[in-house]
Amino acid sequence: MVKNVYSSFTYYESYGLDGEKEDKSVNAHNCRKSCLLSKMFFLHKLISLHKCELGLNKGMFLLFVNYAKAYLELTSVITDLQMYVLYLDEEQRTQILEKLNKHVEDKKGLSEQRKMKAQININKFELMF
């Protein structure tokens, strides 16, 4: 049952991204965002209530990175992810900062203002870690 519940979230993880053009509607955005947060919360509950840590922090790490990359320019990304930081070890935290910095550098067509918003959030992540 646990596997089925977790897998059901995966359907919406890339909702609106499978076509030639990305669906930027509010509905598609909310589906993707709530899917990632739901998966992270589900892992949090498995770890905290059922003490099922066996490799789940790796899953948490991947979801954390995906969510942070997708919503790096939003101020809410910090509050959305702060409760999951305690599941990340020091190496994973360093990798996250590296991946986020590289993501901002590699992203084409990003205005200076959007780059600065992203960099502010990266700095907040660094302080949080």
Token digits for 24? 């930027």
What lies within 8 Å, CB to CB, of 20 at 6+ separation is none
Alpha-carbon span 51 to 55, nearest angstrom: 11
What lies within 8 Å, CB to CB, of 17 at 6+ separation is 23, 32
Helix segments in the chain, DSSP class H: 2-10, 26-50, 56-70, 76-81, 90-106, 112-128
Q: What is the mean pLDDT of each run of 10 residues along the chain (129 residues)?
A: 72 71 79 89 84 76 92 91 90 94 88 90 92
pLDDT score for 2: 67
Task: Name the DSSP class of 119.
Answer: H
pLDDT score for 1: 64
pLDDT score for 96: 95
The model's pTM is 0.84
